Chain A
Amino acid sequence: MRTQLKEQNPYTRETFQALWEISKVVLETIDFEKSTQQVVNIILGQLGKLRYGYDAIVLTLLDKEKAHLKRIAISRTEKAATFLKKSPIPFEEIIIPLDAEENFAVKAIKSKKVQTTDKITDILYPGLPKEWIDSFQVFIGTKTGIVFPILAREKILGALIFTLNKKESEITNEEWQILETFVGSVGIALDNALLFRSLKLTTEKLDKANKRLQELDKLKDDFVSMASHELRTPMTAIKSYLWMALNKKKQDLTPDLNRYIFRAFHSTERLINLVNDMLNISRIESGRIALNLAEVNPVELVHEVVDEVIPKATELSLNVKVIDKQVSRVLCDRDKIHEVIINLIGNSLKFTKSGGSISITFEEKAPFIYISVTDTGVGLAKVDMDRLFKKFSMIEHSYTAASASGGTGLGLYISKSIVVLHKGDITAYSPGREKGSTFTLSLPIAGTSTALELIKEAPKVTQDSKGLEKKRLGYI
């Protein structure tokens, strides 16, 4: 009764065990070479246990680019070992080209159907010489060869070759079913292994490309750093000698000469600013700006900046006032935000006619403090709003004012980049041309979750990190 059952159901306990071993390999496939060899070993080990009489199992893989079948793994059986020892060509070098139409492995792959033969030459030729195969078959006593195509997700991956010491007619239906199940599992295992390998290769390629990009980025930054140093040396000399000419104790310059030199001096200042701004942008864009975060009273910080700009504002007959308000502390890099506020107030000074006013207000709306700089200046047209924060974005009618004042067209872009690094933002608003404008800067309140995120994510000081080039106030 028991024997009866066993014959009806091909899946005996041993078979289940074998399939289980294969699926373990399938699930744990991480190393291509290892897994293919493992698959073959397990299949053979398990089939050996079933005592069906297998001589050897060989795994071949399809190489589409080279259009051939390559041997990948062979079972560790006694007869396979004999084959390896006697074969005139090393195992890995036995290649079957895909145009060898009469080869059964090629046939199996092209037809996607199992091929069976009693002549091993059908399987090994032209990988090995015909005469050698024939005599080897006699020597080893193999009676049948079976080639299964290995399929996964409709794709042909290769072929699995079984050699048996019994005739084809002796293979039972049960055995066929078990073999097919095994081959199916092998397909999945191989597919996983191949996917993993291509994923690994892609990851390696990406890693390499990424490293190269980082290197290039560093080279670019180093170059910009060196170039700006080299540029600064002659610019310092030009600027300083022009300053000397302008500040001669005994004034012996004609008014015309004085004007020429004054303009040359200011243009040099502008050039130096441009070099500094480009250096800043290079640093920001390559992520080499580190933030030294601290809790800062924003009202105090604004007063600090206003104290610096008051002389210039007075010279231009502009009124700057700070509307004090009790607000929470913000988390920021004090020096860098100082520069940002200078930039915002500086812009207002540039674009407001004498007699106008600039006011700075504060608003608290968790998780941010909003600092607004409002002026009664030239204002902005709607079309200009979007362009404001882009590189070299000096808007048309601002050019005269900007060129006289040393503007580079990079200030707002840099300021916004710095504030965005702080998880805040800078926005612009204007009711229209000649109606003044408001620039609002937001910074995270210390202790809020935004501030905590900032602490976690802020670029830290490293060997590569750099500070921000400071702008001179004199020409604002």
Chain B
Amino acid sequence: MDKKRILLVEDDQYTRELYEEVIKGEGYALDTATNGEEGLEKIKNGGYNLILLDVMMPKMSGLEVLRAVKNDPPKVQNGPIVILTNLTNDPILNQAYGLNARDFVVKSDITPGDLLEKIKGYLEESNPK
């Protein structure tokens, strides 16, 4: 079976490298981007089974990325986009859902173990066996 492809868009180096280690350790193919602009470029290429997107990032925020993807969907489809953030404002959350985010996960509230479980859930859900 092909490895599932996941894209992680996260500007904080420690968080990014940690999730990278955990996700790769679980056997997924992980691609990373360190800001919104880079993230959008990769999303446009398409083909990811799951995208984990931070909100507060330099150059382009996660919400702006969502908006750009919604307005101009990539030719090659991607799996769900999940917001992975430490922001907890309702207006931002509602905006994200309005822009087709699949879920909204608060990083400080989960452990790496919880993240892996969630990833498994999103992948099964979008690609049932």
- In angstroms, Cα B107 to Cα A243, docked, is 13
A288 nearest CB across to chain B (Å): 9
CA distance A461 to B91 in the complex (A): 9
Alpha-carbon separation in the docked complex, A472 to B114 (Å): 11
Closest to B22 in A: A244
Mark A271-285 against chain B: 1 for CB-CB distance below 8 A, else 0: 010011001000000
A290 within 8 A of partner (CB): yes
Query: Range of interface residues on chain B?
Result: 20 to 34
Residues of A within 8 A of B111 (CB): 239-240, 243
Cβ-defined contact, B89 with A225, below 8 A: yes
Residues of the B chain whose Cβ atoms lie less than 8 Å from the Cβ of A61: none
Closest A-B pairs by Cβ, 4 of them: A232-B86, A232-B108, A237-B14, A236-B107
Give me the interface of A with B, judged by CB distance under 8 Å. 225, 228-229, 232-237, 239-241, 243-244, 247, 272, 275-276, 279, 290, 461, 463-467, 469-470, 472
CB closest chain-A residue, reference B88: A469
Does the CB pair A237–B112 fall under 8 Å? no
Instruction: Knowing A237-B15, A240-B18, say if A247 contacts B113 (CB, 8 Å).
Output: yes
Complex CA distance for A233 and B86, rounded to whole angstroms: 7
A-B contact count (CB 8 A): 66
In the complex, what residue of chain A is closest to B21 when comparing beta carbons?
A244
- Contact yes or no, A236 B108, CB < 8 A: yes
Tell me the complex Cα distance, A276–B112, Å.
19
Minimum Cβ distance to chain B for residue A83 (Å) = 65
Which B residues from 4 to 40 make CB contacts under 8 A with A?
12, 14-15, 18, 21-22
Is B56 part of the binding interface, using a Cβ–Cβ cutoff of 8 Å? yes
**Which of A229, A233, A463, A465 touches B15 (beta carbons < 8 Å)?**
A233
Nearest-neighbour CB distance to chain A for B30, whole angstroms, equals 16
Roughly how many angstroms separate A240 CA and B110 CA in the complex, as a whole number?
8
Taking the nearest CB of chain B, how far is it from the CB of A293, in angstroms? 15
Select A240's contact among B56, B86, B91, B112, beta carbons within 8 Å: B112
B69 within 8 A of A: no
